[in-house]
Chains A and B, each alone.
Chain A
Amino acid sequence: QQQVKQSPQSLIVQKGGISIINCAYENTAFDYFPWYQQFPGKGPALLIAIRPDVSEKKEGRFTISFNKSAKQFSLHIMDSQPGDSATYFCAASIGGGATNKLIFGTGTLLAVQP
């Protein structure tokens, strides 16, 4: 119930293409869904986040699509660039509880080929 399932494990995209990473959850109490980007040797950096009261959120080239009924959400990276090559993690938390601890997906290693 506390798991967040992420796919694919790795992804290769050509420069200028669209990268799509998917996540699914079971616990309907989750009410905050962030995506983190992590470069080798660095800590995860918050990229974009969404609450379940909206179906889509866009920030620059990054878009989160959220399907509450299917309990799924995805990250779309438009016009993917070599600089986007990193590991991406989806996560979820229950803001209304005593803690905002994050439950992370297993990560997707993205390689954008020039």
Chain B
Amino acid sequence: DSGVTQTPKHLITATGQRVTLRCSPRSGDLSVYWYQQSLDQGLQFLIQYYNGEERAKGNILERFSAQQFPDLHSELNLSSLELGDSALYFCASSVASSGGAYEQFFGPGTRLTVL
């Protein structure tokens, strides 16, 4: 158990809908990263927050957004869902954003199915 929790575990929804994925980082970790895992794209970095502020963006669609709250949990919002958004979404956390604290610990993921 990495100490990172994600809810829900599974999510099934229809095209055009909006969903919210939730992540709680390990105790003491200030940085949260979101990754998408799909068969055709592999594991791809989406976005990172550090202590409530956006730190880096990767291959994240404009229909997707995220935020990190004062208690450090993070939410990834996916809107106007398309079939191609079906994937596993992972959250990872680390102590810091950069510098010496490199280790990232991944949660169990949320499997999103868009029908």
Chain B residues contacting A105 (CB-CB under 8 Å) are 42
Q: Does A12 sit at the interface, judged by CB under 8 A? A: no
The CA of A42 and the CA of B1, in the complex, are separated in Å by 10
Output the least CB separation between B59 and chain A (Å): 11
> Which B residues are CB-close (under 8 A) to A42?
108-109
Q: Is B71 in the interface zone, CB < 8 Å from A?
A: no
Task: Note all chain A residues with C-beta closer than 8 A to B107.
Answer: 43
Chain A at the B interface: mostly helix, strand, loop or mixed?
loop
* Interface size of B as a range: 20 to 34
Interface residues contributed by chain A, number (CB under 8 Å): 24
Shortest Cβ gap from A21 to chain B (Å): 15
Q: Return the CB mask of A94-112 against B: 1 if under 8 Å, else 0.
A: 0111111111111100000
Give me the interface of B with A, judged by CB distance under 8 Å.
2, 4, 31, 33, 35, 42-45, 48, 55-56, 58, 90, 92, 94, 96-109
